Amino acid sequence: MLSNKTTSSAVRSAINALQHYKVLNTLTNDCFDKALETEQQLSIEKKNNSPLYGRPILIKDNFCLRDTLTTCASKMLANFRAPYTSTIVQRLIDHGCIIVGKTNMDEFAMGVASWGAFGPVANPWSLTKTTMTNVENNKTVLHVAGGSSGGSAAAVAANFVSIALGSDTGGSIRNPAARCGCYGFKPSYGLLSRLGMVALVNSFDSPGFFARNIDDLIFATNAVAGPDDEDATLLSKPFENFKTSNELSKEKKKIIIGLPDDYDVNTLSSEYRLCWQDLVHRLTETGEYTFKRVQLPYTPYSNAAYTILSSCEIASNMARYDGIKYGHHTKNIDKNKDTYEDILKKTRDESLGERVRGRILAGNYYLLEENYDKYFVQSQRVRRGVMNDYKKVFEEDKIDCLLAPVVSNDPITLAEYEQADDIFSEDDIFTVGANLAGLPALSFPVRLSSKGFPIGLQLIGPFLKDQELLSTAYRICSTYQFPFLDLTKQI
């Protein structure tokens, strides 16, 4: 019934696309039947004039939706149904959004390939003619979609839905947005409620959105931003809606953009560096932008600090997953011998992936009394240094925003990623700084590489200057046409 194409409803079109392209593995679980019922109900009773009304969306599977599986792409939560709905998801529903499904991700949002317990998300550009097939079995060679919010990014990039919800802890929205060829927006820390988003690293986690245009990012953010009495980390002051493109197009202020020398690293491929340089040249010719080289001297240490601090918070947050209160519980118990620690070890060995267990071990190691000062405390000092770097650039050097890479090269294949030993990506150096400092950042597609994959760049702005960042992004992206993918045309 769900694959019937006789109706032109937006929800059914999204469902058809998601079912047709199961090879991309964008979902952990679906809400198809409920979505169709909701769409029919909303068509009868028009409740508001929101630009999101009646639109199908997807939400990353670390956001709670009442009575719906919330797995975080982990065997630990494979059967967990959330008892409540997260603030952000509820506000989207209140604006008339229709939840079509929960998107695939890295397990507990730890990773850069969106490869959890239910398999990897594939990059939708792998299905285009610009990529190759495996000669031995004549199957399309699939590539990583980025992570950890890869399911949301892939679905938007392929045009299955126009908006999807994700989360960004160290680049988990911007990385897959750049890999898949769509917009990815991480607002300032504290702008969007984290209530009902399964915590990874409380002091870094930021909800955000994927879209195919700036206006949809604005519509979605306007719908969910604002105070929430249930989230103590949220800004308490009232939220003032962001302006949309009709108003942004009238702004002609000259913009000063910083180019961080410390992001021009050896791992950045010549093709991706050239894309960065070409955009600077193109914008300079318009006469509306001034570019300045800037220094962020703590950048070389940011990855190490992020790794240590995130592992420490992960170790604390993951302590709740013992298989007793909720989640997977081992059946391999010797009642006459096993202690609580034995049961905990068996439960986690059975239900948590190697990456997650490695982060827990690392975090507990860094938090040992003899290690605390030289790892955790020192990393906090580096974090403060990163924040001061940005503060100097924005306040003393009078830079409006930074323009920088997001990833260094085209995505590798899923087979290549499976053989890789690295737990952390070298590309994190481009993205973790904004999380360490709580700054707004937006990834946007620029052009295709020689192999036919999107090349994305990002803007990073001062704290709570999200409106200005969106405005600058809109102006920049209006100067060229990116060839967005649309796999729905091939159904």
Q: Catalytic amino acids?
A: 60, 148, 172
Amino acid in position 255: I
Determine the 3-state secondary structure of 146 from DSSP: coil
294-439-205-443 Cα dihedral, nearest 10 degrees: -70
Q: Tokens at residue 484, please? A: 């967005």
What are 164's strand-pairing partners?
58, 210
Residue keyed to tokens 């709905």: 85
Q: 360 in helix, strand or coil?
A: helix
Contacts of 345 by beta carbon, 8 Å cutoff, 6+ apart: none
Residue length of the chain? 491
Q: Which two tokens stand for residue 478?
A: 């209006």
CA dihedral 376, 378, 380, 384 (to 10 degrees): -170
Q: Are 219 and 250 in contact (CB under 8 A)?
A: no
* Burial class of residue 3, CB neighbours in 10 A (0-12, 13-18, 19+): exposed
- Identify residue 467 by its one-letter amino acid code: Q
- Cα 29 vs. chain centroid, distance in angstroms? 18
